[in-house]
């Protein structure tokens, strides 16, 4: 059974944009971020996903826990972070189309938090919005067959993998197969599916961006519930994936150096040696001669550089 959704013009356009962005990533000289950025993105991923569920620990506290340090905070919230760190660090070990591995991931995600961690819920549930019931999940007796159908859908080759990841996320939220932890598992497993589609998704904190658009996230879920298909959520989710890629590429692009930064690079290179404007330009091939002259004038004006000679014969050296 294929979960109900429609392919809209918006969905096709978002997929096209994501594909173009992935092409840009592949064209970068260093598409794999430096360790500091990778660590920052992992922290943002974990903190963002748990914050949606009400976890109050901030980025600094999650960073400290990732580094093995002790932090002050509610015991359950600290456990939630420690569990999520463990699960995300093992993301490659989970087979994206394995129902058994989903249960294994849930067991780790909810360890010491939920007696039924790693097991389907055994009772019927309704999701509250304030005091009103916003969503009545399917009966507990149907959870195993519904989840099997969703995983059968993942094995189909008839739907674009990006759409599959979004539909899966929605269907898990709709079925609500666990007594708790459904939101974080939906977001985690979508990340696992995205990683299976392209390796760069290991470093892209889509969850953090979803947290920033939390109201839109819930609105898309609600709209899909009301329409009886996941189309609205797929559109929203693809837009988050696209924006997360834009932010990732922007973070990897080398930022323009300031005049002071260029001068410092020159100081480290030349040391006590004299150098000319031509020598300076040889280190910064993208700036003009006029910019180089302004940089060197700044160095002289700030008394960092000593200038000797005039015009073409001008030489500079760093003041000791």
Domain spans, the chain: 9-252, 259-318
Among 14-18, 27-31, 253-257, 294-298, which stretch is predicted with the lowest mean pLDDT?
27-31
Rounded Cα gap, residues 56 and 279, in angstroms: 53
pLDDT at 29 over 80: no
Q: Show the tokens assigned to 60.
A: 């600094």
Q: Which two tokens stand for residue 13?
A: 């356009």
**Does the pLDDT value for residue 84 go beyond 80?**
yes
For residue 41, the model assigns a pLDDT of 86
Q: Dihedral sign, CA of 207, 210, 212, 214? A: negative
- Note the pLDDT of residue 132: 64
Q: Name the band, by pLDDT with cuts 50, 70 and 90, for residue 99.
A: very high
- Taking the whole predicted model, whether its pTM rises above 0.85 is answered as no
- Residue in 81, 84, 75 with CA at minimum distance from that of residue 58: 81
Q: Is the pLDDT of residue 197 over 60?
A: yes
Q: How many CB atoms lie within 10 A of CB 117?
A: 19
Taking residues 152-174, what's their average pLDDT? Answer: 95
User: CATH top-level class for 259-318?
Assistant: mainly alpha
Per-residue pLDDT of 276-294, as tens digits, reads 999 999 888 888 999 999 9
Q: Quote the pLDDT of residue 32.
A: 64
Tell me yes or no: is domain 9-252 CATH 1.10.3290.10: yes
Q: Are 9-252 and 259-318 the same fold in CATH?
A: no
Q: Which of the 8 DSSP states describes residue 202? A: G
- Short-list 171, 173, 165, 186, CA closest to 241: 165
């Amino acid at each position: 059974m294929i979960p109900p959704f429609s392919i809209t013009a918006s969905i096709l356009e978002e997929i096209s944009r994501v594909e173009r962005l992935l092409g840009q990533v592949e064209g970068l000289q260093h598409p794999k971020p430096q360790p500091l950025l990778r660590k920052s993105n992992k922290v943002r991923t974990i903190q963002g996903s748990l914050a949606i569920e009400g976890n109050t620990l901030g980025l600094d506290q999650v960073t400290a826990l990732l580094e093995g340090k002790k932090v002050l905070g509610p015991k359950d919230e600290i456990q939630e972070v420690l569990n999520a760190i463990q699960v995300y660090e093992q993301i490659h070990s989970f087979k994206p189309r394995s129902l058994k591995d989903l249960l294994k991931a849930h067991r780790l995600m909810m360890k010491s938090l939920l007696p039924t961690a790693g097991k389907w819920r055994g009772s019927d549930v309704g999701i509250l919005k304030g005091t009103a019931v916003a969503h009545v999940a399917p009966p507990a007796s149907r959870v195993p067959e519904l989840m099997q159908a969703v995983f059968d859908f993942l094995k189909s080759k008839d739907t674009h993998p990006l759409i599959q990841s979004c539909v899966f996320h929605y269907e898990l939220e709709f079925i609500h197969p666990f007594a708790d932890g459904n939101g974080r598992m939906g977001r985690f497993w979508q990340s696992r599916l995205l990683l299976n589609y392209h390796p760069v998704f290991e470093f892209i904190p889509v969850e953090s961006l979803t947290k920033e658009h939390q109201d839109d996230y819930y609105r898309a879920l609600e709209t899909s519930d009301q329409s009886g298909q996941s189309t609205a959520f797929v559109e929203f989710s693809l837009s988050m994936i696209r924006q997360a890629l834009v932010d990732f590429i922007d973070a990897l692009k080398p930022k323009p150096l300031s005049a002071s930064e260029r001068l410092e690079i020159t100081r480290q290179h030349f040391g006590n040696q004299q150098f000319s404007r031509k020598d300076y330009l040889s280190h910064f091939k993208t700036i003009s001669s006029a910019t180089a002259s302004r940089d060197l004038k700044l160095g002289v004006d700030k008394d960092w550089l000593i200038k000797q000679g005039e015009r073409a014969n001008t030489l500079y050296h760093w003041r000791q």
